[in-house]
Structure 1
Amino acid sequence: MTPQQIDLVKATVPVLRENGVALTGYFYNRMLGNNPHLKETFNMGHQRSGAQAQALAGAVLAYAENIEDPSVLLPVVELIAHKHVSLNIQAPDYNIVGENLLHSISEVLSISMQDPLIDAWAAAYGQLADLFIRTEKAIYDQHQQTKGSWLGWRNFKIAKKVVESDEITSFYLSPSDGGELPKYEAGQYISVRVFVAELGLKQPRQYTLSTSPQADYLRISVKREDEKNDLAAGWVSNTLHHLLEGSEIEVSAPTGNFFLIDPNKRNVFISGGVGLTPMVAMLNQLVTLDMPQPVTFIHACRSKHVHAMKQHIHELKAQYPRLSTFTVYEFPHQSDKLDEDYDATGRLDLNAVDRILLSPDADYYLCGPMPFMAEQQKVLLAQGIAAENIHSEAFGTGGVHH
């Protein structure tokens, strides 16, 4: 990019702050209208709620603000690149996005396609697209070199469904072709694609793998959403809950950059609600290694009725003295027993947890709703835990997956 083009892109920052969501909303409508096949790649629930337009507006603004040194965005690029790979997004798709983005800027700002600003954004977008394509190629290459892995979508059968709580069911997925499965890192996720009758379309959704690698199945644990929710956040999740054992779905290969980093360190897992799925996967991975270091498993949920995998954690705790747990029920039922089911009530307050369980030299893993994770991170930093030892995974609308 020329210095003049960089200045032009930077000059659009105030416009993006003010009108970014209007621009990206217009862009998505234009692109999906012109390329309806992409509706099976994009989450239409997030389209309807506006979450996708909001997320893209934030990303475009961040890129414009850092146009002189886009390398500061590399951690975010890597995060998104894994998601793109899980959706089988390919290099030519970037041409479709670029063309529609430039036309949207032209149409929303009422400027000619020959305006120097469009040229500047074309150069900026080309630079960003190249960065994504290179990052994604490295991930695709890794899948090709991993035994049992695959590219794109692969058919799987729902071999078994196991009810884990009033809201969460585990799905055991076996490859329809009977072929091998790859070793993956505990904490990684897959994309699942199913036909959603209400839309007349296939829809993808990301779900964390909820156990360590197994020879003949992948497992996801899915929360059923309230069907009265008009934002349609649960289209794929609720479709899955209605599918019978033996049904076929499409699945992408395990990917993602949130996973257990060092099994030989002390590890502390902190989760809220269905955010416990990557934590159980990591814990199960440590079990296969005979739990080399002490582990703390902290979980917050509403009550015993929605406390998934409670029995599994109890059994591991009885078997491994190095495993300590701390459970918080926000609204315990009368039948829930203090000490047996939970340790505290209300919201999770890490300041109320015994400091012995929160080692200053441990790795900390957070997963749950964004406000939950922000609160826990704030407390951990205040307790002197180093920022580089705190790792988090977002989920839900505006987050990464689940």
Structure 2
Amino acid sequence: MPSLFQHPNFLHFWIGQIASSFAFQMLSVGIGWQMYDLTNSPMALGLVGLCQFLPQLLLTLVVGHVADRYNRRLICVCTRLTMAMTVAILAYGNITATISANMIYACAALLGTARAFEMPANQAILPNLIPNVLLSRAVSAMASAREISVIAGPALGGLIYLLGPTTLYLSSMSCFLISCIIMFFLRYNFTVKSKSPISIEHLFGGLTFIRGNKVILGSVSLDMFAVLLGGATALLPIVAKDILHTGPWGLGLLRCAPALGALLMSVYLARHPLTHSVGKIMFAAVAIFGVATIIFGLSENLILSMLALVLLGASDMISVVIRSTLVQLETPDDMRGRVSAANSVFIGSSNQLGEFESGVTAAWFGVVPAIVIGGAGTIAVVGLWMYLFPDLLKRHTLDKANE
């Protein structure tokens, strides 16, 4: 770990990621709680996730091309500035008492659009900052940066929300601006390695690459379907309020519990990288994710619910590190933007679209059955994917050259 942070550019990038993640996690508490207060509807919470996901899906081909052709650092600066301005709109809506569900939906769509451009650019920068031999540790360290903010952000966001949603939104906006400034001064030399004319083949290059690599396709799709079915974060406001009978502070604790498990696991993996049986480890981790989801769905105790979420976060982190490292190591640099954009669709499907799925199933079957069914579905996906992707199951090391 010390050798990794001896690279000043990586340290700079790492701090900027913490600030941005911190802003988004605080914001998620505010939007979720305020939307449920305004509508008292699980479906409304799901629609917020859908509004964030749709721009990411629709812009996949465009954002990948942009990340491969233009300065990735400046893309991150512009997108984070856009997110800060979007949060300012929410703050203004509360100051003027004009906030509404439709305003939140519109801002969620703007945030989704900005994140659609940010994610592939942000992911594609990392391999250019450190040697390949440190990439697995770097992925774990970046994950720890995100999880540090996911732990502190929601907990602090829940407390700040007690002072009013305006205060929370202004705090989130400030963190986005800080991240924007940090990224602006990142030392990153951008070069375009390919100036071939834009074509359909070029735009679809990322999806084509993933489809042709069964190990990458299996890992990203496994993670997508597992979290799509088993993710219940959109329902946390309902679980906190109606099942566990707690307030915004309790919601903050629930939101940071998965991050605590993920942080502990990411720190461990940064110091002890996975060196063998990575395919089997990934399948086992996703199965544990499903079991933890079922325990969370059946729990009526805040402590037990938090413990289940800690286990859920730790197991998910193993999957994230394996998937992210495989994608980065096996993708040429001039394609990393397009491949990262395609990968972002899988991630977005598992997160934002998963929130929509959770909202719909909760509206149909109830909150507890929706969570339990999702966890069982995750376990079923693990069994099916072990059959469909034997190459992933047999994968021994992260770097194929070391097999």
How does the TM-score come out when normalised to structure 1?
A: 0.25
Bigger relative CO (Cα 8 Å, ≥ 6 apart): 2
Give the structure with the larger helix fraction: 2
How does the TM-score come out when normalised to structure 2?
A: 0.25
Larger Cα-atom Rg: 1
Give the structure with the larger strand fraction: 1
